[in-house]
Chain A
Amino acid sequence: NAGVTQTPKFRVLKTGQSMTLLCAQDMNHEYMYWYRQDPGMGLRLIHYSVGEGTTAKGEVPDGYNVSRLKKQNFLLGLESAAPSQTSVYFCASSYSGSGIAKNIQYFGAGTRLSVL
């Protein structure tokens, strides 16, 4: 029962470098999300996707890009990393239908990113 898997778990970047965070889910969920978590700020939505090939901006999208080429994968890209992007990044997925599971998001274990 893998659920939502994020890779890598840790990463250190220098300012200006680029990287891609990978999220994979095996629950056949339509919806996927990327959040960042900063101390005292809770979780803030970066981008989300309601299906393969579709993405949308969340609350804090600047400096990030995403792609959803396959239903099970959601990639988060940083083209030119900045120290302000030092954070813990979480991916989540959720069921799109009705019923008891509606709107419940399932989270990965997170990626800890430091930008020096």
Chain B
Amino acid sequence: AQSVTQLGSHVSVSEGALVLLRCNYSSSVPPYLFWYVQYPNQGLQLLLKYTSAATLVKGINGFEAEFKKSETSFHLTKPSAHMSDAAEYFCAVSEDYGGSQGNLIFGKGTKLSVKP
């Protein structure tokens, strides 16, 4: 069965500092992996998606994530945090059942705070 573990329910960084949000997954087949962001009182927006074309995936707002199969990880990073990055971030996994739709399994989320 698929599962997603996000280490740390809350992460706090200073403005300009590196952002690192951790995500580990379990999947019996090569997965699709996603990071979504949720700003206060809004729905989820896609940050980036891994599809096996490249292990380093670039997303919106300067975020990127690296797929490491040996570590079953898909950590999200941003070199320099901005106040506007304060939000909750969700990692999600989906399996591809021979071309049919796979539902998303979400992690519990990591709330990012950015201090001035």
Contacts and interface: CB of A to CB of B under 8 A. Distances in A.
Contacts of A4: 43
A50 B108 contact: no
Nearest to B32: A103
B108 A40 contact: yes
Contact of B46 (A40, A102, A104): A104
Contact of B51 (A45, A100, A107): A100
Nearest to B90: A42
Q: Interface residue tally of chain A, by bracket?
A: 20 to 34
A103 B104 contact: yes
Main secondary structure of the interface of B (DSSP, over half): loop
Main secondary structure of the interface of A (DSSP, over half): strand
Contacts of B44: 43, 90, 92, 105, 107
B1 to A, nearest CB: 11
B99 interface: yes
A96 B108 contact: no
Interface string A42-64: 11110010100000001000000
Interface in B1-39: 9, 32, 34, 36
Given A43-B106, A104-B34, 11 more contacts: A40-B108, A45-B104, A48-B103, A102-B32, A103-B34, A103-B49, A103-B94, A103-B96, A103-B101, A104-B46, A110-B43
